C-alpha cells in the first residue's frame, strides 16, 4: 500500500528523495564536492544513487529508489540549470569487457559517466573513432597480444584487469604491459588503482553500522564457530585455501556456506542475496577471509564484508592489507601471516578470543574512532559504479593538460 501511495504522488516522492540526498551529504561529514572526478552540481543526486541501494533489505524498495533517482536525473537535465561546461575526454573500450567489468553497461554506467563526471566522460565501444580518442582501454583477460591497432601519438593506451595473473596471464608479460601508458588494476602502484569493494557504503557508514553484541554472535548455536563463504573451488590457489579450511575444522567449528566444503545451508533472512549474507555474518564472531593467492595489493570484497557485518575477518592474502583498513592505529583483522599458516595456533587464538569479550572487542575499537579520508579514499577505488570511469577521465585530463 505504501508503495502504491508513493507511486501516485511521484512529484512529492522525487522532492522528498532530493531532500534526503542533501541531508545525506551532511550526515556523511564529507562532501562529494571534494572529489575532483565528480561534477559538484550532481553531488546530491550521486549520493542518492550510490548509497540508497542496499540501505534497506527489500529489493523492491531498492529498485524503486534507483528508478526515481534516474527520473530525477532526467528531470534535472531537462528543467534545471545547465550543467557547467566541462572538458571532453573520449574513451574507447577496445575489446570485450566481461567478468568483474561486465557492469560497464551502456545505460547504468557509460551514460551516467558522461553527465555526472567533472569531465564530459564519453565512453564508447565503437572502434570507428579511434583516431579521435584520448584513450583506448584494453581488457587484459579477453585481449590477444597480437590484436593492437596502429599506434598514433595522440591516442593513449591503457590496460584494465581486476583479475589475478592466474586468470589474466598477460599481466606478467612485460613485453605486453610495457606497451601501455596507463594501468587500471588492483595494484596500488597502478595509474588508477581499482578494487572490488562494494560501492554502496562510505567510511562513515562502516563506522556507524550497528553490530550485534558479543553474546549475540552465537554462530547459530555454536558461539566459537567461524563462518566461510567460498564458492570458487577450482581457482588458482583454491586447493591450498580449502586444505587450510579442512585443517582448521579439526580444531574448531567451521560453518561453510559456499559450494566448497559446504556443510551449512543459508537461512533465508532476506530476499536480497547480499543482505542475507550480511545478516548471516552478523551472527558470527569470526569470518574466514582467505584470498585464493597471496598477491601484492590484491584485496577482494571478502574482508570488507566482515568489517561491515561486525564479524571479525581472519585474513590471508596481501601483505599490504593494513593500507586498506579503516584505522592506522588499531587492528581490524586477524592476519594469518602472524601465525605462519599454522592452523592449530590460529584456532587456539580464535578460541581464546571467543571466550574473552574484552580482548575480542579490541578489534572493534576502530568503530569508536572518527572516520577518516584515508579509508574513504580506499572505498572510492571501487570499480562497481560509473565513478571508476570518472576517475579514468579525470586522470587523462590531468595528464593531457
User: Residue 334 phi/psi, 5° resolution?
Assistant: -100, 125
Query: What are the per-10-residue average pLDDT scores of the chain (401 residues)?
Result: 43 43 38 58 47 40 49 49 75 84 64 81 89 95 94 95 89 96 96 88 91 97 97 83 96 96 95 92 98 92 96 97 95 97 98 98 95 90 81 93 78
Residue with grid cell 522532492, as numbered in its chain: 15
For residue 119, give Cα distances in angstroms to 36, 112, 135, 317, 398. 9, 12, 14, 36, 11
User: Residue 255 phi/psi, 5° resolution?
Assistant: -95, 105
Give the per-residue pLDDT at 84. Answer: 62
Global pTM reads: 0.79
Give the per-residue pLDDT at 58. Answer: 40
Q: How far apart are the first and last CA of the chain?
A: 54
Helices (H), 156-272: 174-177, 203-208, 238-248
| Spatial separation of the C-alpha atoms in residues 82 and 75, rounded to whole Å | 11
Helices (H), 29-158: 43-51, 59-79, 111-116
Give the per-residue pLDDT at 2. Answer: 42
H/E segment holding residue 377: helix 373-379
| Spatial separation of the C-alpha atoms in residues 285 and 218, rounded to whole Å | 8
Give the per-residue pLDDT at 106. Answer: 63
Nearest to 209 by CA among 200, 218, 221: 200
Give the per-residue pLDDT at 14. Answer: 42
If one looks up domain 88-194+383-400 in CATH, what number appears?
3.40.50
Nearest to 271 by CA among 56, 59, 3: 59
Residues carrying CATH 3.40.50.11660, the chain? 203-371
The predicted-structure confidence for 373-393, as pLDDT tens digits, reads as follows 999 999 989 887 777 888 999
Which three cell numbers, joined as nine digits, stand for 84?
A: 557547467
HSE (side-chain half, CA atoms, 13 Å) at 82: 3
Give the per-residue pLDDT at 110. Answer: 74
HSE (side-chain half, CA atoms, 13 Å) at 77: 10
Nearest to 378 by CA among 333, 320, 315: 320
Give the per-residue pLDDT at 42. Answer: 52
Quick count: other Cβ atoms within 10 Å of Cβ 321?
A: 20
Which three cell numbers, joined as nine digits, stand for 222?
A: 555454536
Give the per-residue pLDDT at 105. Answer: 64
Give the per-residue pLDDT at 70. Answer: 56
| Spatial separation of the C-alpha atoms in residues 239 and 379, rounded to whole Å | 30
Q: Is CATH 3.40.50.620 the classification given to domain 203-371?
A: no
HSE (side-chain half, CA atoms, 13 Å) at 278: 22
Amino acid at each position: 500500500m505504501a508503495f502504491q501511495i508513493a507511486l501516485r504522488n511521484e512529484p512529492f516522492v522525487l522532492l522528498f528523495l532530493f531532500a534526503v540526498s542533501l541531508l545525506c551529504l551532511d550526515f556523511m561529514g564529507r562532501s562529494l564536492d571534494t572529489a575532483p572526478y565528480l561534477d559538484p552540481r550532481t553531488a546530491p543526486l550521486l549520493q542518492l544513487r550510490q548509497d540508497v541501494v542496499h540501505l534497506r533489505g527489500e529489493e523492491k524498495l531498492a529498485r524503486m529508489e534507483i528508478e526515481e533517482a534516474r527520473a530525477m536525473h532526467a528531470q534535472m537535465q531537462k528543467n534545471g540549470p545547465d550543467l557547467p561546461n566541462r572538458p571532453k575526454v573520449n574513451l574507447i573500450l577496445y575489446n570485450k569487457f566481461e567478468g568483474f567489468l561486465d557492469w560497464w553497461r551502456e545505460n547504468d554506467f557509460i551514460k551516467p559517466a558522461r553527465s555526472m563526471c567533472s569531465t564530459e566522460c564519453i565512453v564508447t565501444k565503437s572502434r570507428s573513432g579511434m583516431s579521435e580518442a584520448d584513450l583506448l582501454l584494453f581488457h587484459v583477460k579477453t585481449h590477444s597480444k597480437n590484436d593492437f591497432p596502429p599506434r598514433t601519438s595522440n591516442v593513449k593506451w591503457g590496460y584494465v584487469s581486476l583479475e589475478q595473473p592466474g586468470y589474466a596471464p598477460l599481466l606478467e608479460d612485460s613485453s605486453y604491459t610495457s606497451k601501455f601508458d596507463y594501468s587500471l588494476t588492483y595494484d596500488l602502484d597502478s595509474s588508477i588503482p581499482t578494487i572490488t569493494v562494494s560501492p554502496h557504503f562510505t567510511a562513515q557508514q562502516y563506522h556507524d553500522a550497528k553490530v550485534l553484541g558479543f553474546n549475540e554472535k552465537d554462530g547459530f548455536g555454536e558461539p566459537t564457530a567461524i563462518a566461510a563463504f567460498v564458492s570458487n573451488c577450482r581457482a588458482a590457489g583454491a586447493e591450498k585455501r580449502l586444505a587450510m579450511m579442512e585443517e582448521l575444522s579439526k580444531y574448531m567449528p567451521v560453518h561453510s556456506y559456499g559450494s566448497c566444503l559446504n556443510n551449512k545451508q543459508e537461512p533465508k533472512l532476506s530476499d536480497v542475496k547480499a543482505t542475507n549474507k550480511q545478516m548471516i555474518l552478523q551472527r558470527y564472531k569470526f569470518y574466514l577471509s582467505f584470498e585464493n593467492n597471496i598477491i601484492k595489493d590484491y584485496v577482494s570484497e571478502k574482508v570488507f564484508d566482515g568489517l561491515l557485518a561486525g564479524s571479525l575477518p581472519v585474513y590471508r592474502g596481501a601483505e599490504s592489507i593494513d593500507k586498506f583498513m579503516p584505522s592506522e592505529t588499531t587492528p581490524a583483522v586477524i592476519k594469518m601471516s602472524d601465525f605462519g599458516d599454522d592452523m592449530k595456533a590460529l584456532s587456539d587464538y580464535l578460541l581464546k578470543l571467543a571466550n574473552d569479550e574484552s580482548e575480542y572487542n579490541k578489534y572493534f575499537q576502530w568503530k569508536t574512532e572518527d572516520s577518516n579520508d584515508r579509508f574513504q579514499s580506499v572505498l572510492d577505488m571501487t570499480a562497481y559504479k560509473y565513478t571508476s570511469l570518472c576517475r579514468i577521465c579525470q586522470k587523462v585530463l590531468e595528464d593531457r593538460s
